[in-house]
Structures are given as structure tokens and as C-alpha cells.
Amino acid sequence: MTIPTASPTTRSAGSDFTELMHAVQGSGLLRRRYAFYWVRFVLLSAVLVGLGAAFLLIGDSWWQLLVAAGVAVALGQVMFLGHDAAHRQIFRSGRWNDWASLVIANLYAGMSYGWWNRKHSRHHAKPNTLGADGDIAPGALVFTTADLVKPRTGFAGWFAQRQGWLFFPLLLLEGLNLHVASLRTVLGRSPVKRRAVELSFLALRLGGYVGVVFWLLPVGMAFAFLGVQLGLFGLYMGATFAPNHKGMPIVPASLKLGFLHRQVLLSRNVRGGRFLDVFMGGLNYQIEHHLFPSMPSPALRAVRPIVRQFCLDHDVAYTETTLGKSYGIVVRYLNQVGLAARDPFQCPLVAARLAG
């Protein structure tokens, strides 16, 4: 696996980003896209209503599993919309964006906006940074050799050595994990803004949804319906978020990087057409999204040539690949980390910066 490195220029990273920001502001790509987002919200609501109607009409039939798959994809698109609202991409008013996020995430998708926003904000501040980015915190998977100071033995060791191949099957449990993490946060002691609202929305969404499924379907079919929906939802979410940073350099918190270098060097774009833009909710332009998190997602495709040329002119490595190749990078990297006890891995970017 080749990990990109970059040589810092004599200019400060701050002045570089200021120059880029001025160019982007002049392009008008930061303007709000109210029509786009309202149409998207109405269409997704209509799709969910249609799926609900199909669920009621089909009744006691294994064809319901197709409905479950449709719900999984629709809720994935709902979460992309909630992601944009949380990043203040939709409205000028922070309050309007907050309430949009609460309705979309909690009431539509059954996820805690407060939990996700706190976690995701840390990720954006310091992506792929040890001790700061919760997305690379060790758990079932290990993302860096720093997490393998104490070797994993037995089944854990067997799993770690094959974690790259097991990554995508494991994502089938991610949908359930996201709901559990949301409930744990709003029911726990961690501070949550508008806790009562979040609890009310989650109780209505999760309790009502599960209740209707078990009311209409036989127990075995109901469990199968929820298994398909949650499994495919988790797989969809993981398959769209993993290509953006997994397999890119992971850096220690002590490493000094300017904003532009940190966001560009530690992120990866996924190249593709309009269908891929829809499939990934615009997150395939991860570099641009990290540089301009409040930019409406439909503008990311247009700003990409500006950012790419700027990085080329300023000798900043800009990483872009296809979706298939990005998945291959993720699998190989995770397997490499899992085998680190026999084949230690050191990030070239970290080594170069620390040596300098």
C-alpha cells in the first residue's frame, strides 16, 4: 500500500488556506441551496411513506424483506441529509439546522443527533489523529499499531489478523450499534442538548417502528425484517464512510499540521459520476467536505477542480481513487495492522514530519 506524503512549502498553511478560501468564496459555491434540500426532504419523506404503505399492503409475506432493503437504503439517504443539516449546510440559522437535524436523525432515522454531532465534530477537527478522532478508536477493529502494544491472543488475535476481510461482514452489525450508542448517550450522564426532545423522538421512532413490525408480522418474519433492514443500513453507512479515511495516514496528536494539510493529507476522494454522488451523499468529495464543511453537498463536485489545482500548485498531495480501489486499500490496510506483530508498520507521513 502506498500512502501519500507531502513536502511543506515555505508558505504557512494558514495563508495557503486563506488564499484557497478567497478563491472559493469568489466562485459563489458557498451559497445556500434551499430548493435542493427542500426537494430532497420531500422526496425522501414520500419514499418512506410509500415504503410504509407497501409494508401494510404486503402484510404477512416474505416479500417484506424487499421492503426492509428499501427502508435501509432510504434511511441511509436520510442520514446524509441529517449530516448536511448538522454541518449547517442547509439553513443560515443555526437553530433551524439544529431542529432539522433532530427531526431527520432522531425522528426519521432513530439516531441521536447529539451523540453523532459530538463524535463527528471531533473527527472533523482532527481526522485520523490518535486520541482525538473517535472513528479510529480501538474496539472490535484496530486501526493502528499503537493499539497493539498488548498483543491480542486467542480468537481476538485470529480476528485481528483477518480484520480486513471481516470488515464488511462486520458492518452488518453497525446499524444496531448506531442505535445502541444513541440510546446509551441520551439515557446516560453525558451532557446532551435538548435531551427531552431527543428522548421523545427516539422513543416514538424506535418504539413505534418495532411495535408496528411485530404487530403486523409473525415473530420470525419480524426479526428477519429488522435483521435485513438494520444489517443493510449499517453496511450502507460503513461502505460510504470507510473509503474516505481508512488506510490514510494516522498521526499522533503531537504532530503539528496546518488546517489545509491536515484535512487534505488525511482524507481521500472517491472518483465517479453522478450516481456515485447520490450513492455516497456527496461524501465521495471528502477532501472538499473537510475543507469546507458548511458548503452544500451539491456544490462539492464543482469546487473539486479548484481544490485539486490549488493542491497541485502548492505541492500538497491530493489523494483520489475509484470506489473499488478504495475498498481494496481499506481491506489491505486493516489486514496489515492486524498482522503488525509480525510485520510492523510505520506511517511515512508521520516519520517524515517527526524527523523534520
- If you write DSSP's letter for every residue of 174-240 in order, what string do you get? HHHHHHHHHHHHHHSSS--TTHHHHHHHHIIIIIHHHHHHHHHS-HHHHHHHHHHHHHHHHHHHHHH
Range of 302's domain? 13-355
DSSP states of 1-32: ------PPPSS-HHHHHHHHHHHHHHHTTTS-
Task: Tell me whether residue 154 is in a domain.
Answer: yes
Taking the C-alpha atoms of residue 356 and residue 348, their distance in angstroms, rounded to an integer, is: 12
In a domain, 4, yes or no: no
Q: Does residue 243 sit within a domain?
A: yes
Query: DSSP H helical segments within 89-128, as ranges?
Result: 94-101, 113-125
Separation between Cα atoms, residue 124 and residue 259, nearest integer Å: 11
Q: Is 186 a domain residue?
A: yes
Q: Which residues contact 54 (CB under 8 A, 6 or more apart)?
A: 67, 70
pLDDT digit string (tens) for the chain, length 356 residues: 333 333 343 345 457 899 999 999 999 999 999 999 999 999 999 999 999 999 999 999 999 999 999 999 999 999 999 999 999 999 999 999 999 999 999 999 999 999 999 999 999 999 999 989 888 888 888 888 766 666 777 887 788 888 999 999 999 999 999 999 999 999 998 888 999 999 999 999 999 999 999 999 999 999 999 999 999 999 999 999 999 999 999 999 888 889 999 999 999 999 999 999 999 999 999 999 999 999 999 999 999 999 999 999 999 999 999 999 999 999 999 998 887 634 444 455 555 555 55
pTM: 0.88
Q: 100: closest CA among 88, 111, 116, 110?
A: 88
Position 165 in a domain: yes
Is residue 2 one of the residues assigned to a domain?
Answer: no
- In degrees, rounded to 5, the angle at the alpha carbon of residue 115 between the alpha carbons of residues 110 and 117 is 105
Domains held by the chain: number: 1
Q: Is residue 1 part of a domain?
A: no
301: in domain: yes
